[in-house]
Amino acid sequence: MLIVCTKVSSQTADINTNETTLNELVINVVAPELKPLVYNADKVAVGLLIDTLNKVSEYSSLKFNVTVMPWGRAMLEVKNGHADAIMPTLYTNERAQSLVFPPQQFVNFYGSVLIKKVDNNFEFDSFDTMTSKKSVAKVRSVLLGEEFEKAKKEGLFTIAEVSRLEDAFNMLLLDRVDLVVTDGFAAYSSIKEMGIEDNISVMSISSLEEPSFIAFSPQFAKKHDVIEIMSIIDEFNNPDRYKKILSSH
């Protein structure tokens, strides 16, 4: 298990939904690896989102235990009530059937990208102008906006799903797929870390804002006011501030 925010307390208490005061409450959160937002370093969860939650823990009565794990397992942990929340996750009607999404977003993403090897002559203008089917690697269960999801349903891609973005890039470099698709900021972080800037080319799919959330388990949301919890987090968090920070990574 890959644990934890450094400012975590082991003491728990209930939240009083009839009052504005909040007693100390430990929230167990699971998260997929998404550098530089959240990832594991020396068996400790770190990243920009962890920095925010640590600040919340330091100056409020909310405390967080964060465990980094593959996306599919993380979703199961929350759906089964073994974890209290998952972050960051995009809203879909399907996910809303098993997760509780508060109205406040946690972080905004700004555009998905297609990535190819530099010797690939494919140029992307739009999905409507694609004339041949492409093989694409992507991180399992990660949504990449309505345009890509529509193109996938129309059969423009054959999809190879992986647990980590680095695995997708390795498949691309070994010519096992034509393209990698991912969030732009996640792509730039992994490309820089892997040192493959000269081997690949990045093509933008969309620049539309995609709000992402801390989504809670139904069991947790029945006991605690998740809107009030997010209101406290929002005192220390601006969903748009990561755009400027991430652009420097």
Number of domains in the chain: 2
Examine the domain organization and report whether 127 and 140 are in the same domain.
Answer: yes
Domain contains 8: no
Half-sphere exposure of 151 (CA within 13 A, CB side): 26
pLDDT band per the 50, 70, 90 thresholds, residue 1:
very low
Q: Which residue would you say has higher pLDDT here, 140 or 14?
A: 140
Name every residue whose Cβ is closer than 8 Å to that of residue 218 and which is 6 or more positions away in sequence: 81, 98, 99, 100
Average pLDDT estimate for 90-107: 93
Examine the domain organization and report whether 79 and 131 are in the same domain.
Answer: no
pLDDT at 108: 85
Domain contains 19: no
Examine the domain organization and report whether 76 and 88 are in the same domain.
Answer: yes
CA angle 218, 2, 86 (to 5 degrees): 25
Examine the domain organization and report whether 117 and 101 are in the same domain.
Answer: no
pLDDT at 144: 74
Read off the tokens for 217. 């388990």
Contact 57, 5 (CB under 8 A): yes
Examine the domain organization and report whether 219 and 198 are in the same domain.
Answer: no
Task: Find where tokens 């203008």 sit.
Answer: 125
Question: Where do runs of H (alpha helix) occur along the chain?
Answer: 48-59, 71-79, 93-96, 146-153, 165-173, 184-194, 218-223, 226-234, 241-246
% of residues, the chain, pLDDT over 70: 85
Examine the domain organization and report whether 127 and 83 are in the same domain.
Answer: no
Read off the tokens for 168. 């997708």
Domain contains 176: yes
Examine the domain organization and report whether 89 and 73 are in the same domain.
Answer: yes
Q: What is the CATH number of the domain that holds 38?
A: 3.40.190.10
> For residue 91, is pLDDT > 80?
yes
Domain contains 46: yes
Cα–Cα dist 224/239, whole Å: 23
Cα→Cα distances 55→29, 60, 176, 199, 237, Å: 16, 8, 42, 38, 9
Domain contains 18: no
pLDDT digits (tens, 9 = 90+) for 168-183: 999 999 999 999 998 7
Cα–Cα dist 90/210, whole Å: 7
Examine the domain organization and report whether 103 and 31 are in the same domain.
Answer: yes
Examine the domain organization and report whether 131 and 145 are in the same domain.
Answer: yes
pLDDT band per the 50, 70, 90 thresholds, residue 141:
low
Read off the tokens for 65. 């235990």
Domain contains 10: no
pLDDT at 87: 96
Give me the DSSP letters along 66-104: EEE--HHHHHHHHHTTSSSEEEEEE--HHHHTTSB--SS
- Containing domain of residue 225, as a range? 25-108+212-241
Examine the domain organization and report whether 130 and 173 are in the same domain.
Answer: yes
165 φ, ψ (degrees, to nearest 5)? -60, -35
Examine the domain organization and report whether 62 and 31 are in the same domain.
Answer: yes
Examine the domain organization and report whether 119 and 197 are in the same domain.
Answer: yes
